């Protein structure tokens, strides 16, 4: 498993050097920038800490996420919100605008979570990754994440 924070400084430097040489972004995998296609978007809590750890907080973040998507008038095919990350399958027109808006969502929800936990300044979100994937495979992947993580036996049982 890729865990940059556990590497030695030499291993970290080698990884950054390789990414630079290959023309990749230093902090994440290369992104596909084709507009008007479905993309899977994954947002992870920093260090995969389960900050969305109650039914109330899960429901709150799901509402925030879906309202955010609706406000941008994006087509959303599937989503799942889990205690330490989420996935959405959305059709994105303007990738740069979407990325900026996603950062705003993360900033706003980070502020709320940290305020509720009395931990102002704590890092909440780790990254927002996107890549093109086969539509139905991704749809199935998203719906079955609660099963994979052992929260339920059937995907339809997850709220």
pLDDT digits (tens, 9 = 90+) for 6-15: 778 898 788 7
pLDDT digits (tens, 9 = 90+) for 24-41: 555 544 445 556 788 888
Domain boundaries of the chain, sorted by first residue: 34-157
- Is 3.30.70.1290 the CATH classification of the domain at 34-157? yes
* DSSP assignment string, 41-91: EEEEEGGG---S-SHHHHHHHHHHHHHHHHHTT-EEEEEEE-SSEEEEEEE
pLDDT digits (tens, 9 = 90+) for 40-69: 888 888 888 999 999 999 999 999 999 999
Q: Is the confidence at residue 133, as pLDDT, over 50? A: no
Looking at residue 80, its pLDDT comes to 92
* Dist. CA 54–CA 61, nearest whole Å: 11
* Dist. CA 137–CA 63, nearest whole Å: 25
pLDDT tier for residue 22 given thresholds of 50, 70 and 90? low
């Amino acid at each position: 498993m890729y865990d940059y924070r556990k590497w030695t400084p030499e291993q970290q430097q080698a990884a950054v050097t390789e990414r630079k040489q290959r023309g990749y972004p230093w902090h994440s995998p290369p992104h596909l920038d084709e507009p008007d296609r479905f993309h899977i978007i994954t947002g992870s809590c920093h260090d995969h800490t389960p900050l969305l750890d109650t039914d109330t907080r899960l429901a709150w973040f799901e509402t925030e996420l879906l309202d955010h998507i609706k406000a941008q008038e994006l087509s959303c095919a599937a989503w799942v919100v889990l205690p330490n990350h989420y996935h959405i399958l959305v059709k994105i027109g303007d990738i740069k605008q979407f990325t900026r808006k996603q950062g705003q969502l993360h900033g706003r929800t980070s502020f709320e979570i940290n305020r509720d936990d009395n931990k102002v300044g704590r890092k909440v979100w780790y990254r927002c990754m996107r890549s093109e994937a086969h539509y139905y495979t991704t749809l199935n992947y998203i719906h079955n994440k609660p099963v994979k993580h052992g929260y339920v036996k059937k995907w339809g049982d997850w709220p």
